Amino acid sequence: MNTFKFSGDSRSGVWLNDIKGVFVVNPGTEVDDIKSVSGWQAVTMPATAADIAGTYISFERGVEIQTDEAEMTTGNTGYTEKTKDFAPRLNGYAKMSYQDYMAWFAADQREFDFYFHLKDNKIIHAPRTTDGKYKGFCGRMFLNFNLPVPGGEGKQQAHSFNIMLDSAEQFKNYEVVSPDFGLCEINDFCPIGFDLKVTTEWAFTVTPGTLTVKATYRGTGEPVTELAVGDFEVVSAESDASITIASIDDTNAALGSYELSITEELTGNFELRAVVIDTKVTKLSNVITVKV
Amino acid sequence: MKFGSIDFNEKKKWTFDEIKNLVEVRYKGKVKASPEKVAKALGVPVPEKKPKKDE
């Protein structure tokens, strides 16, 4: 409801600060608390990998607002008025490694809810639900697929996230909140990312079939040495039969190399990732496709 | 559950033969425990050994 009433003057011209980053969550996710580290960790670093519902993307490399101007129509009687509002759009240039950006490729064209985090640490969000839970603005996200740019501004804009919100109406009632955590505590919300890579392809001549993967931290390339068999998770499979990693041989774990065994003969490709949980999800890998 | 350098998945529905194959063939020398010990730790029943028939 938007009843207009005269509402006074603050005697100040302060603007909202620039966008620093965005919290991206699964569509429709209601967050209990966006003002505390623990409130966000319940979404971004929960106790089980299946409950991960979002993360934070830093847009320190810049943001371009691309919202279309409202449509003003002049009829043939000469009367001009606004006939359409457009939902906000922006291009955010993420401060992340190319490996992080590649892990986002599968998110291209997907729908998410967005909370915008500003440089003075405020958070802008959609109107709360009737029971006080927080909601993000619903919208879509697009990524770019391009060769490495040689230098200059184009290079800084290489990891771009084109965010288009769905509804100008939802934005008309946006709310601003000041969280309890500091600007530099944002890093506490994101699990550390590492890369999994198949180094020896799946082979099943005698049971068990095996494949070897390498786990290295993104950005530094250092090996991830502490993975256990329970940390590996089959995310999806082409076949209908369930796939279980039977055992891992971590003789070469010091190099980040793990040999995985599966006792069943497989009939289709599957996708694999690894998650390290220490009361909450602390390290997350990308999702890799294992060709069978 | 780890034996030597091999970490067995406790959530898998193991058969004793699968464990025996991994311990005695595939990962020979790496498990440092008998198939029976691994099976018992994973909650997999160990088949009884058939006694040798006296002729």
Question: What is the residue type of A189?
Answer: F
pTM, 2 dp? 0.90
- Say how far apart CA A149 and CA A64 lie, in whole Å: 19
**Residue B11 in contact with partner chain A when CB distance is under 8 A:** yes
Task: Pick the closest to residue A201 from A99, A288, A105, A284 (CA basis).
Answer: A288
Closest partner residue to A229 (CB to CB) among B9, B13, B21 is: B9
Provide the token pair at A111.
């729908």
**Residue B53 in contact with partner chain A when CB distance is under 8 A:** no
Q: Which residues of B touch A208 (CB under 8 A)?
A: 18, 21-22, 26
Q: pLDDT tens for residues A148-166?
A: 999 998 999 999 999 999 9
The answer to whether the CB atoms of A247 and B11 lie below 8 A apart is: no
Please give the share of chain A, as a percent, with pLDDT higher than 90.
Answer: 91
Q: Which residues of A touch B13 (CB under 8 A)?
A: 244
- Say how far apart CA A162 and CA A24 lie, in whole Å: 13
Q: pLDDT tens for residues A12-36?
A: 999 999 999 999 999 999 999 999 9
Write down the pLDDT at residue B53: 64
pLDDT above 90 for A45: yes
Closest partner residue to A208 (CB to CB) among B7, B11, B22 is: B22
Q: pLDDT tens for residues A251-262?
A: 999 999 999 999
Angle, alpha carbons A144-A149-A153 (nearest 5°): 90
The answer to whether the CB atoms of A230 and B9 lie below 8 A apart is: yes
